[in-house]
Structure formats: C-alpha cells, structure tokens
C-alpha cells in the first residue's frame, strides 16, 4: 500500500418540499400538529384510495432541475418501490426510477446524476427507555409526515474530502433556499443527506467498494461521519483487507459507525410503473412557469458581489450562500451611505456573531440602522469600538444608531485638544514604549493605544489616536 | 309485489317518476327479498331505505359489489383480512349513483379481491347460481350477477378486471357491460389490478345497463388520475336493426375450447345479426391466444403490490399470534388471505423480482401492446368484434376449485378486451345444456367495440336483444331464491 488513498464521495440528498399540501393528496403539510391529524384515506393507504400528483411539487422539481442545470425530461413516470414497513402505509413508496423528472447537470463542479420526486414515509415513534427501536416496548406511527413531497438529488462521486462535501452541501442548501422550494432545515429533517464513500489509490480511474452512510442530520455530522468512514476504510485497506459494501449508521455522540445492512441483505424493491398515475408530460407552459420563478442563485450572487461590489471571495461566498445574510446585506446597501466592503464586513462579521443561528431576522437590527452605523464609522463620527457597543443595543432593542449614540454619549472624541492631553499623559507614563515606537517598532504602539482607548471608553477613533501619538513623538504620519 | 319485480329498473324508475310507484315501496320490496337471499349473493343488506333522493335513476335500489367502499358499511372485498371493515368514505361511482337516485340496497358477495371466476373464493362462502343452485354464478362479480338474475336486486354494480362482469352476467343470463378503461372513476374501489379494473353495470336488460351507465360516466374524477372525461352522454338505446353494421369474428376466440352448446347459441346469434342487416366476417386477432398468459403476469404483479397495504398495522384483521413485526405481517397475511389470493401474490411477486422483470412483466407488457394493436387493426374493418363471453355455461360448485388453470380459462374470451382497455358487453343469447347434460343454462354473447364506443355498442346489443327475446324470468323457475331448498 504505497499509493496515497483518495476519498471518493457522492451524496444523496432528500429535500422536503415546502408545498401547501402533500405529494399525492390534499392534506396540509404538518408542522408538529398532534399525531395523525393531517391524514386522509390516501396518505394512510386506505383500501380504494388513489394518489393524485401535486402540480406544485412538479413545479418545484423543475425549478431545482433548472437551478442545477439538469436536462428536464419531457415525459417522466412514477414507479412503485415495494417493501414492508409500518411507516409505509401502502406497502410501497411512490417514487421515480428509470424515468426521473431531471437528469444530469452540475453545481459548483459537482455533477448531478438525477433529481426525482417521491413521497416521504410516516414517522415511527419508539416507546421505551432508549427512544430507538432496539429495546423499545412499543412503536407507534404518526402519519402526519407520510406523503410529504420529497425531492431526491443524487450527485456523481465527484467530492474528495469531508470538508468539500460539507461546503458543497451548504451551497446546495443555499441554492434550494434561494429557490424557496424548501425550508432546508437539517435539524427538522427537511434536508437529509446520505453519503456514498469509497477510497482508491490517487490517480486510479476505477472506484473502490463503497459504503453508504445514512441520514446525517447536520453539516457538522456529515463532515465528521464522512471523515470517520474514510479513516475506517483506510485502516481496512492498510490492513490489506476488503471493504464490505454495506449501509452504515454514524452515531455523532460516540463517533461510532455501525452496520445497518450488508449488500447480501439488500432488498429487492420490485420496481414497476405506478399504474394509478399517468405519466408527467412536462409542457412548455410548465417550463415557462419554472423559468419565470427562478431567482438569482447563490453562485451567481457571489460572483456579482465580487465583481460589482468588490468583496473578497470568502466574504462574497458567505453572504451569497446564506440567503438571509445576502438579502439583509443587499437591503442595507440599498439604504445608501455605507461602503459595500465595510458593510459586508459588518454584516458577515459583527452582526452574524451577535445573532442566534447567524440569522439577522433573529435580531432587531434593521438594514437601514446597520447601514447608518457603518456610515458613521466611515465618517469618523463613531469609533469602531463604540460602534460595536451600539450594535449590541440595536441587536437587543432595535432603534436607530444616532439615538443610541446620543443617549449613551458614545460619539467620537473629536476634541483634538482633549484627546491630545490624554495622549501626552499616557506617553509620559510609559516612556519605554514611547522609545520603542520612536525606534521604529510598529507593534509597540499598542502599549500606548490601549490605555488611551480605555481612558476614552473606546470613543476615540483608533486612527486618530495613532496619528496623535506619532505627532507627539515627532514622527511622520503613516500612509493612509 | 310480483308486479314490481316484473319491472325492469328503467321501467321502475319511470313508474316512480310518473307517480305510479312509491319509491319507498320499491326499495322495501327488494330489501325484503335481499334480506331473505338464499343464494348467498348478499354479504350485507340495508336495514331501511336511506332518505329519498330525486334523480334520473328514480330511487331504484342498487346492489353494490363488496369491493366498493361505502361509508360506515362493511366493504370487505370478499376477504377475511377485511372482515367487518367499514371505510370512512364512499367510492366516487357509488356516491354519484346515490346522488342520482340509486340508493344502496346491499353489498354483494364476490371472489376475494375479485380474484376468481366462480365466486367460490369468497371468505363469506360461495354464491349459488339462481338457474341451478348446484352451480356457480361465475365471478368475480357473482353476487351482483346472481342477485339481478334472481330479482333480489333491480340492478347491480360490479367490476371487471379480466371478465369479472361479463362472465358472471353470461352464466346468470343477464347483461353486463365492461366500460372503456378510464370511463368510470376507480376511486374507492378496492384494487385488484389497477391498470385493468373497471366498474360497470350488471342488469336485466340493455336499456337498464345504458341507464345505469349513463350516470356512472361523466366528467373525470379529480381523485382518479387515470379517469377520463367521457365524450358526450350515454343515450338509451332505440335501434332495432343492424343494417350496415360490420361484425368481426375472431377464430382465435370462437373455436377450440368452447363448449358445443355455447358455440351453437353463439352461431345462431350471428345468424340473427345477419338477418338484422349486419355483415359477419372472420377477423384475425393473432395475439389473442397469448392474452391469458400476459394477463396472469400483469394482473398478479399489480395485485402483489396493491395488496401489500393489508399488513395488519392500520385496519382489518391482525394476528395476535406474533410478538414481533415480521411475525405479525406473516401471520396476519397467512390467516387473512385465501389460497387463490396467496397464489397470485406469489406469482406477481416473482414476476416483478429483480432478474425476472424483463422476462415476465416486461414481456407481458409487450404482448399487451400487441393485443391492443390487433384490435386497432380489427376496428379498421369492423365496427364490433363478437365472441362467446365464456367458453362454457355455469359449472358445478367445486368442479374447478382444485385446478386453477381450468378456472383461469373461463376468462379466455374476455381478457383480450381488458388488456386492450376497450368496452365490451355480454348479453344473454340463449340456453345450452351443460356438457354432462341437465337443465339448459344461459349463454353469453360478447360484443366489443373501440374505446368510447359504448353508445353504438349498447345500441347494437339492444337490437340483438330485441330480436333474441331471451326470457330472464326463467331463472326463477329453478325455485324461489328467497326460499330454502
């Protein structure tokens, strides 16, 4: 085993669509209603009930296909995937098989294999100490979730590290969110990811034996789970043993990977065309409606932020890939007065750090208030330190920054005479630091700036303080 | 009372409309007879007339095959696994007919999940043929056919997957129409094979069939994706001749394997058609002999999936003899399904299995396409295609229960039309002695037309019916169906 091993990762993502009703019946989607209250003869599989396709789900499916650059099938059909389980009321899942809604495409260099529509299973609740099926006394079924529209997105095995897999999934999530087709909430299961993982000698064109890691319910767990599986496979290969094709479960609490079923136990789903549904004929009108509904997508938005607004790549990606941040940023920018780059740094740095889940909607700051705040800093009427304090207040209480500054007396010390007195005293108190600054040590100035900022409670402008120190020491001003 | 029983459903509806007959008396007359049923045709009978609804169906009570869901009323599809099951909703077609004035009289016995040709596969016991209680009524809609033939019901609803309306209609000497696939909503019909199942009328005569069917079709049901808008309305037939009508007779379906008595009644009917002005010529359906084989792959394949929902989790029978999931599934289905249903689930599961799909399901679908093409070619030259409905007259109870293939052959003449999705009607065309001798029994004449040709099909069947003068009342000469024998 001299050759370096390269991980090869493909993702299968299930996305619950944010339609008003279920995939094949008129029941409203459920958000924590009492069990089995969002059900009807169709979604609990009563005898004689028949499915009817949700047109909105097809519309959303086509939008996803457009966003991922897929080929949209002029005709696609549903199949039945047959297996027995209590969360599957009909004994089969209506899904798509060899004629899916969309094929091909790519996102950020990762090729898409297919995108298809299907229905979600119901939810099993295991009553017992562990809450898991093993050791439970009783399992009950809540059919509220059963029949929720799902889109399954399958990538080609084009990812090569856990971090890359995570970043790509974050981009996909941002894309779906921009489309408005799903809540894409991994905690709540509206976005679920499985990963196919294999290793091969770097440079090899053939794929190694893959394992499937099921249902990682956060970006962090996906990254950790895939990393753990890569290490597990690496150890097997380095011990000159064979990786077994199987389906695995990653337990984020213990980091352990356990087998759910092996290839030999793989089920025969006996797929066949669903005779209760007619084929989906994708008409030009449907395509037109999907095209008309397309928003600017995160990748394009990031590119625009870099090109038109001069943001750095990292900042542009951060704001563009998190739709709520990008939207807030653009609304603030539209208020005028703030420099795009400075504003981006405030939104992506200070504001995100102060809000739950990094969502500005979870705070009371308005885009206009933040734009005004950033403009005040740029205009030297507020120091950065004071501006941070103002932002704390705006996040907690809302309001406009001018009022907060006035109420709290946080305005910049523009009284040069007053500030100069403080500067002179601090220099006098620390002649050693002053000497080092004079000698050209750039870091030494911090020993002087710190006490000055403390004394002024941060109201002094840092640049102004530096200018005054150098002036007092008889040095040239620094280049702006 | 006997005067009421003499009235056809259409005549009864007319009498109610003109005030000569009270709808409540009409209902009660049939209700009492159905409640006294000695043929085991009914599995449930209404205790009283529901509130009267005025409508074109005149309050004439309707017997409904068990597999139609009827809210709050047992809907068991002849199966132990659904014993006592009362659905929370009513099938679209039953709802439409009730709204048009055909109240629910009772639920009729059937082969379990409509799988059978004799109604001996019912968990609720076999149905007796009113012409001879030692014989079967055909199936799977045997309860509906026997009830209409015995005048326990004015008319009835059945379903046809491979012949389940037409064959029992033939064996009981009544009229049965299998509509164009998609013409009638399947919503609320407990499915056997989704791509083949169709609801249709079983009636005393062609006019009744047209009247009942006229209220079954209509705007497509938004709850059934496979249902279609019926082009135009169904009209009551008036035609008395067959001038200019071209009838094709496929040798493949009217020769080998047909009982001599059936064949002679069939040929006599063709002669009658000629006398009414029709041309009768041979017509080739080269793939028709393969229809039964294809059908017994496709229908079980769909059934194996359709019947997966009967798992004991949510409704119906659940075995208490298991302490874990797989055991519960296995024991529930072991106890709940009868032998024929299990046989077809196994056949269908096998046909869909990985590695066998193309050889069985895929191939059967290609045969199905070929059969539909045969008919399309045939209908370029002919208006209708005629065959005997069933290869024989009613057979004795138990005669074929141990030989599934012999039982399957009952559908030899009806399955091709089912696979092609085209309408076909069976009308009684005479009597024939069974092969072993005995009382002469009804023979069915099947006429099939292109998709949505029901109006012309009913008109031609009506002209033949008038000329044939078949007397369905003869059934009751075998004994009072409400009296023990």
Q: Is the pLDDT of residue B5 over 70?
A: yes
Q: What is the pLDDT of residue A456?
A: 79
Give the residue-averaged pLDDT of A236-246: 94
- Judging contacts by C-beta atoms under 8 Å, the chain B residues touching residue A277 are 225-226
Q: Do B313 and A47 touch (CB under 8 A)?
A: no
- pLDDT above 60 for B1: no
Q: Is residue B320 part of a domain?
A: no
Helix (H, G, I), strand (E, B) or coil at B107: strand
* Within-domain flag for B399: yes
- In a domain? residue B416: yes
Span A409-436, mean pLDDT? 79
In a domain, B432, yes or no: yes
Q: Is B68 on the interface with A (CB under 8 A)?
A: yes
Q: Which domain holds residue B447?
A: 2-286+367-478
Determine whether the interchain pair B69/A278 forms a contact, defined as Cβ–Cβ distance below 8 Å: no
Instruction: Tell me which of B90, B94, B186, B309 to substitute to probe the interface with A (most A C-beta atoms closer than 10 Å).
Output: B309
Chain A nearest C-alpha distance from B190 (Å): 4
Q: Detail the DSSP E strand segments found in B133-210.
A: 155-160, 175-178, 198-203
A50 in reach of chain B (CB within 8 A) = yes
pLDDT of residue B463: 98
From chain A, pick out residues whose CB is under 8 angstroms from the CB of B361.
Answer: 272
Question: Is the CB of residue A146 less than 8 Å away from at least one CB of chain B?
Answer: no
Residue B272, chain A, CB below 8 Å: the answer is: no
Q: Which two tokens stand for residue A211?
A: 């394992």
Averaged pLDDT for residues B456-469 = 98
* Between A302 and A138, residue with greater pLDDT: A302
User: What does the pLDDT look like over B365-395, one tens digit per residue?
Assistant: 999 999 999 999 999 999 999 999 999 999 9
Domain count, chain B: 1
- Measured between alpha carbons, how far is B139 from B129 in angstroms, rounded to an integer? 11
Q: Is B65 a catalytic residue?
A: yes
pLDDT score of A473? 85
* Segment holding B319, helix H or strand E: none
Do the Cβ atoms of A48 and B191 come within 8 Å?
yes
Instruction: Residue B340: name the closest of B188, B144, B140, B158 by CA.
Output: B140
**Catalytic residue from among B79, B122, B140, B254:** B140
Contact status of A90 with chain B (Cβ, < 8 Å): yes
pLDDT the model gives residue A385: 85
What pLDDT was estimated at residue A253? 87
pLDDT of residue B128: 98
Comparison of pLDDT for A134 and B23, the residue scoring more:
B23
Q: Any chain A CB within 8 A of the CB of B465?
A: no
Interface probe with B: pick from A47, A80, A83, most Cβ of B within 10 Å:
A47
B59-89 residue pLDDT tens: 999 999 999 999 999 999 999 999 999 999 9
Burial class (CB in 10 A: 0-12, 13-18, 19+), A109: exposed
Instruction: Give the up-direction half-sphere exposure of residue B395: CA atoms within 13 A in the CB hemisphere.
Output: 20
pLDDT tens digit sequence for B30-59 = 999 999 999 999 999 999 999 989 999 999
What pLDDT sits at residue B236? 97
Determine what percent of chain B is predicted with pLDDT higher than 70.
100
Residue of B118, B122, B144, B164 with catalytic role: B164
How much of chain A, in percent, has pLDDT values that exceed 70?
96
| Domains annotated on chain A, with CATH | 5-290 (no CATH), 298-408 (no CATH), 416-472 (1.10.10)
Residue A1 has pLDDT above 50, yes or no: no
> d(Cα B300, Cα B231) in Å, to the nearest integer?
32
- 3 state SS of B372: helix
Task: Say yes or no to pLDDT of A165 above 70.
Answer: yes
| Residue B453, φ and ψ in degrees, nearest 5 | -95, 20
Tens of pLDDT, residues A291-330: 999 999 999 999 999 999 999 999 999 999 888 899 999 9
Q: What is the ipTM of this complex?
A: 0.96
Mean pLDDT of the B439-459 span: 98
Residue B258: the pLDDT is: 95
Candidate from A351-360, A416-425, B90-99, B235-244 with smallest mean pLDDT: A416-425
User: pTM to 2 decimals?
Assistant: 0.89
Residue A160's pLDDT is 97
Does the pLDDT of residue A2 top 60, yes or no? no
Is B57 domain-assigned?
A: yes
Mutate to test the interface with B, among A270, A274, A278 (most CBs of B within 10 A): A270
In a domain, B443, yes or no: yes
Q: Does residue B323 belong to any structural domain of this protein?
A: no
On the question of pLDDT at B196 being above 80, the answer is yes
Q: Over range B432-443, report the average pLDDT.
A: 94
Parallel, antiparallel, or unpaired for β B441-448 and B198-203? unpaired
CB atoms A141 and B189 under 8 Å: no
3-state secondary structure chain A: CCCCEEEEEEEEEEEECCCCECCCCCCECCCCCCCCCCCCCCCCCCCCCCCCCCHHHHHHHHHHHHHCCCEECCEECCEEEECCCCCCCCCEEEECCCCCCEECCEECCEEEEEEEEEECCCEEEEECCCCCCCCCCEEEEECCCCCCEEEEEEECCCECCHHHHHHHHHHHHHHHHHHCCCCCCCCCCCEEEEEEEEEEECCCCCCCCCEEEEEECCHHHHHHHHHHHHHHHHHHHHCCCCCCCEEEEECCCCCCEEEEEEHHHCCCCCCEECCCCCCEECCHHHHHHHHHCCCCCHHHHHHHHHHHHCCCHHHHHHHHHCHHHHHHHHHHHHCCCCCHHHHHHHHHHHHHHHCHHHCHHHCCCCHHHHHHHHHHHHCCCCCHHHHHHHHHHHHHHCCCHHHHHHHHCCCCCCCHHHHHHHHHHHHHHCHHHHHHHHCCCHHHHHHHHHHHHHHCCCCCCHHHHHHHHHHHCCCCCCCC
Chain B residues close to A123, C-beta within 8 Å: none
Distant-in-sequence, close-in-space partners of B288: CB < 8 Å, separation ≥ 6: B250, B252, B253, B371, B374, B416
Residue A479: is its pLDDT beyond 80? no
Residue-averaged pLDDT of chain B: 96
- According to the model, what pLDDT value does residue A206 have? 93
A91 interface with B at CB cutoff 8 Å: yes
Give catalytic status of residue B225 as yes or no. Answer: no
Residue A125's DSSP bridge partners are: A140
CB contact under 8 A, A47 and B191: yes
* Position A351 pLDDT exceeds 80: yes
The answer to whether residue B178 is catalytic is: no
Please report whether residue B225 resides in a domain.
yes
Lowest mean pLDDT among A40-44, A118-122, A459-463: A459-463
- Residue A415 pLDDT class (50, 70, 90 cuts): low
pLDDT bin (cut points 50, 70, 90) of residue A416 is low
Q: Kindly report, residue by residue over A167-182, the tens digit of the pLDDT.
A: 999 999 999 999 999 9
Give CA–CA dist B189/B94, Å, rounded: 10
pLDDT at A413: 65
Indicate if the alpha-carbon torsion angle A300, A305, A307, A312 is positive or negative: negative
Whichever domain contains B72, its CATH number is: 3.90.1300.10
Neighbours of A136 (CB within 10 A): 16
8 Å CB contact of B352 and A91: no
Q: Supply the mean pLDDT for chain A.
A: 91
- Tell me the chain A residues in contact with residue B313 when contact means C-beta distances shorter than 8 Å: 86, 89, 141
Chain A nearest CA to B329, separation (Å): 9
Residues 337-356 of A with CB under 8 A from B: none
Q: What is the pLDDT of residue A414?
A: 60
What contacts B84, CB < 8 A, 6 or more positions away?
Answer: B74, B76
**A399 pLDDT higher than 60:** yes
């Amino acid at each position: 085993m001299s050759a370096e091993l390269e991980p090869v990762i493909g993702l299968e993502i299930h996305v619950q669509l944010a339609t008003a009703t279920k995939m094949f019946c008129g029941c409203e989607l459920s958000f924590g209603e009492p069990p089995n209250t969002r059900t009807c003869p169709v979604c609990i599989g009563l005898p004689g009930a028949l499915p009817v396709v949700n047109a909105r789900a097809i519309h959303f499916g086509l939008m996803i296909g457009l966003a991922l650059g897929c080929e949209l099938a002029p005709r696609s059909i549903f199949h039945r995937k047959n297996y027995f389980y209590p969360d599957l009321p009909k004994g089969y899942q209506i899904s798509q098989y060899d004629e899916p809604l969309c094929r091909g495409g790519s996102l950020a260099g990762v090729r898409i294999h297919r995108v298809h529509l299907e229905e979600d299973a119901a939810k099993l609740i295991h009553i017992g100490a562990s809450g898991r099926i093993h050791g439970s006394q009783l399992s009950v079924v809540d059919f509220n979730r059963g029949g929720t529209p799902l889109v399954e997105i399958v990538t080609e095995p084009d990812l090569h590290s856990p971090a890359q897999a995570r970043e790509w999934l974050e981009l996909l999530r941002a894309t779906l969110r921009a489309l408005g087709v799903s809540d894409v909430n991994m905690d709540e299961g509206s976005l679920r990811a499985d990963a196919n993982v294999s290793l091969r000698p770097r440079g090899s064109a053939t794929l190694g034996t893959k394992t499937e890691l099921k249902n990682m319910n956060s970006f962090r767990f996906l990254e950790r789970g895939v990393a753990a599986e890569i290490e597990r496979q690496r150890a097997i290969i380095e011990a000159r043993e064979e990786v077994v094709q199987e389906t695995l479960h990653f337990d984020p609490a213990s980091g352990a990977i356990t087998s759910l079923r092996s290839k030999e136990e793989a089920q025969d789903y006996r797929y066949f065309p669903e005779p209760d549904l007619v084929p989906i004929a994708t008409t030009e009108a449907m395509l037109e409606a999907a095209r008309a509904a397309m928003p600017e997508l995160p990748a394009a938005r990031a590119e625009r932020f870099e090109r038109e607004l001069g943001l750095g790549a990292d900042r542009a990606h951060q704001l563009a890939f998190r739709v709520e941040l990008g939207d807030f940023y653009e609304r603030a920018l539209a208020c005028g007065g703030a420099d795009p780059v400075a504003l981006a740094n405030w939104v992506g740095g200070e504001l995100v750090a102060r809000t739950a889940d990094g969502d500005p909607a979870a705070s009371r700051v308005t885009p206009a208030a933040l734009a005004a705040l950033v403009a005040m800093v740029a205009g030297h009427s507020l120091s950065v330190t004071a501006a941070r304090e103002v932002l704390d207040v705006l996040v907690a209480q809302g309001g406009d920054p001018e009022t907060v500054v006035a109420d709290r007396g946080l305005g910049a010390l523009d009284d040069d005479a007053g500030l100069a007195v403080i500067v002179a005293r601090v220099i006098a108190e620390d002649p050693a630091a002053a000497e080092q600054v004079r000698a050209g040590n750039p870091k030494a100035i911090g020993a002087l700036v710190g006490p000055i900022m403390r004394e002024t409670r941060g109201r002094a402008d840092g640049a102004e303080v530096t200018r005054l120190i150098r002036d007092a020491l008889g040095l040239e001003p620094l280049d702006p | 009372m006997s005067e009421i029983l003499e009235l056809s459903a259409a005549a009864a509806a007319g009498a109610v409309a003109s005030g000569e007959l009270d709808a409540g008396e009409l209902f009660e007359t049939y209700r009492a007879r159905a409640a006294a049923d000695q043929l085991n045709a009914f599995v449930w009978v209404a205790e009283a007339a529901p509130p009267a609804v005025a409508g074109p169906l005149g309050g004439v009570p309707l017997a409904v095959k068990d597999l139609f869901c009827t809210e709050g009323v047992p809907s068991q599809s002849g199966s132990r696994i659904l014993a006592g099951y009362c659905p929370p909703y009513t099938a679209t077609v039953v709802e439409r007919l009730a709204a048009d004035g055909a109240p629910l009289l009772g639920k009729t016995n059937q082969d379990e999940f409509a799988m059978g040709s004799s109604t001996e596969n019912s968990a609720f016991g076999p149905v007796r043929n009113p012409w001879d209680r030692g014989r079967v009524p055909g199936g799977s809609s045997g309860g509906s056919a026997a009830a209409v033939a015995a005048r326990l019901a004015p008319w009835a609803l059945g379903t046809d997957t491979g012949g389940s309306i037409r064959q029992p209609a033939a064996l009981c000497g009544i009229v049965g129409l299998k509509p164009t696939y998609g013409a009638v909503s399947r919503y609320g019909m407990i499915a056997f094979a989704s791509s083949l199942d169709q609801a249709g009328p079983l009636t005393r005569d062609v006019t009744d069939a047209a009247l009942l069917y006229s209220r079954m079709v209509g705007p497509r049901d938004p709850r059934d994706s496979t249902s279609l808008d019926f082009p135009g309305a169904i009209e009551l037939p008036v035609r008395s001749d067959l001038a200019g009508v071209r009838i094709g007779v496929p040798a493949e379906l009217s020769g080998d394997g047909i009982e001599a008595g059936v064949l002679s009644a069939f040929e006599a009917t063709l002669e009658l058609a000629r006398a009414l002005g029709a041309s009768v010529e041979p017509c080739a359906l080269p793939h028709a002999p393969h229809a039964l084989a294809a059908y017994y792959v496709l229908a079980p394949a769909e059934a194996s999936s359709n019947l997966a929902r009967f798992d004991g989790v949510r409704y119906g029978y659940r075995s208490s003899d298991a302490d874990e999931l797989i055991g519960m599934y296995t024991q529930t289905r072991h106890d709940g399904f009868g032998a024929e249903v299990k046989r077809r689930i196994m056949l269908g599961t096998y046909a869909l299995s990985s590695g066998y799909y193309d050889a069985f399901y895929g191939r059967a679908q290609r045969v199905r396409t070929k059969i539909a093409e045969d008919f399309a070619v045939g209908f370029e030259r002919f208006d209708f295609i005629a065959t005997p409905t069933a290869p024989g007259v009613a057979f004795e109870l138990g005669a074929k229960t141990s030989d599934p293939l012999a039982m399957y052959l009952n559908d030899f003449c009806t399955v091709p039309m089912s696979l092609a999705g085209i309408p076909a009607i069976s009308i009684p065309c005479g009597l024939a002695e069974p092969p072993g001798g005995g009382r002469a029994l009804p023979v069915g004449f099947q006429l099939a037309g292109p998709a949505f040709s029901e109006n012309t099909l009913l008109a031609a069947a009506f002209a033949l019916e008038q000329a044939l003068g078949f007397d369905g009342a003869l059934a009751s000469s075998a004994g009072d169906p409400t009296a023990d024998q």
